[in-house]
Structure 1
Amino acid sequence: MFRRVAIIGGGAAGATLLSELLERPASQPLHLDWYTGGGTPSRGVAYGTRSERHLLNVRAASMGMFANRPGGFLEYMQKRDPNISGNDFLPRCWYGDYLETETTAALARAKSHGHDVRIVPHEVDAAVPENDGVTLFQGETTTRVDAAVLALGALTPRPLPGVDDDALASGRYVTLPWSLLADAKPDTQPHKVLVIGLGLTAVDVIVELAARWPNAHFTAISRHGVLPEVHQAHASLPYEDSDELVETMRDAPDIRTWLHLLREAIEHTDDWRRVVDSLRPHTPGLWGLLPHNDRARFLRHARWAWERARHRLPPQVAHAITALEKEGRLQRRRGHMHRVSLTPNGLQMRFAPKGQTVEQPLDADLIVQSVGLETDVRRTQHTLLQQMMTNGHIHSDPFGLGIHALPNGRVLHDGNAWPRLFAMGSMLRGTLWESTAMPEIRQQARHLADQLLAG
């Protein structure tokens, strides 16, 4: 077993791996160094919000922190309120409370079992992996560990191309929507807000700011101009032919064939969500079967439709968005941003509507960029990842979706796997595709703990 392990990342992924390791019986005491960076350990960006308007998009019954107790979150919440149902989509801040509670309990168990856990509230500046260990540099401190796990979550978003420097410097163009929402005060001024993107985070931005700024009007632009699909109020029965569908897909790893099979299955069921949801446990394995060209074809042409169907809105949030549209406070536009510049009155976007060649000016007091998770390590400003990329310790996956790694999390370099360097969570999107939500993260934590304790 690896007796000294560093977990780099203080969000839900890092907390889940830490808790999984501390829950296991170990033949010898562990020494765990948990580099949590800034913010509150366990919550990260995903669950750091304090607004009860921001809801989980997975039902409470499926959000347990541990793979062997998927109902743990529901049990925790029903102790607070017995009326809570497993079908409910609950506030993400409540889930952050749950993660903190479970992590605190794990740390308490660690002491009673003789484990040594060192929580370091700083980032790791550099790391040098070798075949017999990993050396970490943090400030002037150097630490040698038996193994290290990169559990970094999503990266800080970069401004989109075409945003002028003075627009960025004005503070009116926002690339960190969660920081904006944390600081936004109630305001009755008639703001004009442009939101780039129409995914789950964009919807959270609109719903929250609309509540705090009752006279604000919103324009949301995206390539296709459509919102995510909506969850049913109650969970559906499992798709009865899922085993046959998955086996047929495995036998023919071709994206065109797969799309045909999915359309055919959906035509023969009462709810398409049942078909999509039946693939979730199998998606990483299926993704691994697809040839490179088919992955590229999927990312170019079908990714947006898959993510819209797979990452759905809770019904309450969908109702709130529909109400804003009916009130005339939200307009959706289909097209592309070409440029954002600073004007005497705020910002102006040069916008190209879908199918048109003539640009239109869109004026705004504030523009919020919300175009999905940033996981491209090739262009990140993240200090540790920059250092490791520059020195050839890690590489990007072929599509810029994260770190090049094996499905078991072992990080690759020059075609070989480091024996003592691992990744989990968002950094494995290129390897597993589905790798950012808690049902996937807890499985990764379980398998990683097996590897780390086996050594």
Structure 2
Amino acid sequence: MEVSPVRPVVVVVGAGAAGTLVALHVCDAAVRAGQPLDLVLVDPAPEAGRGTAYGSRDPRHLLNTPVGAMSCRPDDPGHFRRWLCRHDEQVGDGDFVSRYRFGSYLGDTLGRAVIGARETVRVRRLRAEAVRCDWPDPAGRAALLLADGRLVHADRVVLATGPAEGGGWIPQELREAPGFLARPWQTGALDAVAAARDDVLLVGAGLTAVDLAMTLARPGRTVHAVSRTGLLPARHADVPLPPVPCPPGLTAERSPGRLRAAVARHLAGQRRESGDWRPAMDGLRPVVSRVWQGLGAAEKAELMAHGMTRWNTLRHRMPPATARTVQRLEATGGLRRHTGRISSVSPLETGSFATVLADGARLTTGWVVDCTGPGSETDAAPGSLWRSLLDSGLAVPGPLGLGVATEEGRLLDEQGTASRALHTLGAPRRGELWETTAIPEIRVQAAALADALVVSYR
């Protein structure tokens, strides 16, 4: 598909949260600058804004961040709350609403932005998967091949694909076994297990496992959750306190050991002062990327090996209502946690699974669900867009194998240069920023990227 070269063409691959945020900010930026352009949104999903994160219709699946921090627009914190109030949901900034409602908000906000920019921006939505990107001449245009055979040419490409699919630990025998769910958020994936009564094993104990435990728990069933630490996400406070800035010296610390000690002192000090460590943790959030970028490769590796699990437990927290439900499930035996690594998971002739933990403990369950979280773009399957970029050298693995190598969001190629207008945001930038997977960070990246894309044409 060729578009007139008179108008620059921006292609956004992905219509989940990241792609939706980029698209709406591109519309806004183009209108402000008076810059006509063509915007092509490529994604096979039936609607924009949902992706994996915001498609669940279970009303118990809540955002793990309060309403006041989830606006699409970094300069308008109340935008999401006002949208909810206009749709007959009277909420405050500290409330938690369903993830599905946030997906609706993203889609509606994009739709309004497209309408508002219709005199400046021509928007196309292509419901297909992008499987290849060729860009032989850095001064030329990209050619994106879609799974249905169409070809899309672009001056700028934004890879807003969200977190990569995980499951690298899964042996092929298990992956092919009936009763094993590698992608529990895929439409209809949970229908059979939700209707059955056999026990369930969740591999992982993070936010995905918490949501699935609520969905799958029922009288007479035990949902087992196995993780290396056995820790569930911490809970948000019922009445949150405002963030407390971190001590100035902490951001200059370069020793992983001293950095962990400084963070621990900061949290403990705030707990002594207010009775709650959370304001100190929330105050660290704006500086995490700066601290990460100041570390060398060896220091980053050491920090990853020691302390990140605990950090994630405190950083990505459960809403209070979710925490209360999980507590009831544990008290009644509906949810049982196990600490340790899995030695083996074997399908049985009966259709069940036998799981052996590293300490010798054995579990027999009717279902096994992967809840270990996202993987890396470098593990992308053959025939996928990320695999084509890595194989052609247009993308290379990021530091420590985290995401892909980027410089201010532009992909670095095998020569280590950002010679093409090939951008990404969110999870693929983990190696560059570390703290980059939540809406408060992604919306800032999307707004800055949109401004840069539009300015580059002037």
TM-score range normalised by the length of the shorter chain: over 0.9
Deviates more, 1:131-140 or 1:179-188: 179-188
1:199-241 residue CA offsets vs partner (Å, 9 max, x unmatched) = 000111111111xx443211111001111111001221231x5
Q: Secondary structure at the match of 1:249?
A: helix
CA distance in 2, matches of 1:278, 1:295: 21
- 8 Å Cα contact 1:346/1:363 also seen in 2: no
- 8 Å Cα contact 1:13/1:151 also seen in 2: yes
CA shift in 2, pair 1:340/1:164, >3 Å = farther
CA distance in 1, matches of 2:158, 2:221: 43
Select the residue among 34, 57, 68 that pairs with 1:61: 68
Percent of matched pairs sharing the same residue: 29
CA shift in 2, pair 1:382/1:264, >3 Å = farther
**What amino acid maps onto 1:126 in structure 2?**
R
CA shift in 2, pair 1:180/1:137, >3 Å = closer
1:405-437 residue CA offsets vs partner (Å, 9 max, x unmatched) = 01x201101211134111111111111111111
Select the residue among 138, 154, 157 that pairs with 1:148: 157
CA distance in 2, matches of 1:250, 1:188: 50
CA distance in 2, matches of 1:436, 1:18: 18
Which residue number corresponds to residue 130 of structure 2? 124
Which residue number corresponds to residue 404 of structure 2? 403
CA distance in 2, matches of 1:237, 1:372: 29
Select the residue among 280, 290, 294 that pairs with 1:289: 294
> Shift of the alpha carbon at 1:302?
0.8
1:333-373 residue CA offsets vs partner (Å, 9 max, x unmatched) = 111112221112233344234xx4xx333111000110122
What's the C-alpha RMSD, in Å, of the aligned pairs?
2.0
Q: Secondary structure at the match of 2:440?
A: helix
Which residue number corresponds to residue 272 of structure 1? 277
**What amino acid maps onto 1:330 in structure 2?**
L
Which residue number corresponds to residue 196 of structure 1? 203
1:253-311 residue CA offsets vs partner (Å, 9 max, x unmatched) = 22212111112222221321111110111211211111111111111111100000000
**What amino acid maps onto 1:20 in structure 2?**
H
1:106-127 residue CA offsets vs partner (Å, 9 max, x unmatched) = 121222x231111111111211
* 1:99 and 2:100 aligned: no
CA shift in 2, pair 1:424/1:75, >3 Å = same
Q: Secondary structure at the match of 2:164?
A: coil
Select the residue among 34, 37, 54 that pairs with 1:47: 54
Which residue number corresponds to residue 81 of structure 1? 88
**What amino acid maps onto 1:11 in structure 2?**
G
CA distance in 2, matches of 1:88, 1:102: 20
CA distance in 2, matches of 1:200, 1:14: 23
Deviates more, 1:335-344 or 1:192-201: 335-344
- 8 Å Cα contact 1:337/1:349 also seen in 2: no
CA shift in 2, pair 1:230/1:444, >3 Å = same
CA distance in 1, matches of 2:399, 2:256: 18
- 8 Å Cα contact 2:16/2:51 also seen in 1: yes
TM-score normalised to structure 2 length: 0.91
**What amino acid maps onto 1:134 in structure 2?**
A
- 8 Å Cα contact 1:378/1:400 also seen in 2: no
1:141-185 residue CA offsets vs partner (Å, 9 max, x unmatched) = 323211101100112233524x351x3323211111112766426
CA distance in 2, matches of 1:192, 1:287: 41
- 8 Å Cα contact 2:260/2:307 also seen in 1: no
**What amino acid maps onto 1:154 in structure 2?**
P
| Runs of 5+ consecutive residues of structure 2 not aligned to the other structure | 1-5
**What amino acid maps onto 1:397 in structure 2?**
G
CA distance in 2, matches of 1:328, 1:344: 27
- 8 Å Cα contact 1:164/1:341 also seen in 2: no
Which residue number corresponds to residue 227 of structure 2? 222
- 8 Å Cα contact 1:155/1:380 also seen in 2: no
- 8 Å Cα contact 2:250/2:263 also seen in 1: no
CA distance in 1, matches of 2:315, 2:429: 18
CA distance in 1, matches of 2:196, 2:144: 49
* 1:425 and 2:434 aligned: no
> Shift of the alpha carbon at 1:186?
8.7
Which residue number corresponds to residue 144 of structure 2? 136
- 8 Å Cα contact 2:194/2:216 also seen in 1: no
Which residue number corresponds to residue 108 of structure 1? 115
CA shift in 2, pair 1:2/1:233, >3 Å = farther
Which residue number corresponds to residue 357 of structure 2? 352
CA shift in 2, pair 1:419/1:274, >3 Å = same
Select the residue among 14, 18, 23 that pairs with 2:19: 14
- 8 Å Cα contact 1:346/1:364 also seen in 2: no
**What amino acid maps onto 2:157 in structure 1?**
A
| Runs of 5+ consecutive residues of structure 1 not aligned to the other structure | none
Which residue number corresponds to residue 370 of structure 1? 371
- 8 Å Cα contact 1:340/1:349 also seen in 2: yes
- 8 Å Cα contact 1:338/1:349 also seen in 2: no
**What amino acid maps onto 1:44 in structure 2?**
G
Q: How many residue pairs were aligned? A: 441
CA distance in 1, matches of 2:380, 2:17: 24
* 1:320 and 2:328 aligned: no
CA distance in 1, matches of 2:345, 2:193: 26
CA distance in 2, matches of 1:303, 1:197: 15
Deviates more, 1:84-93 or 1:342-351: 342-351
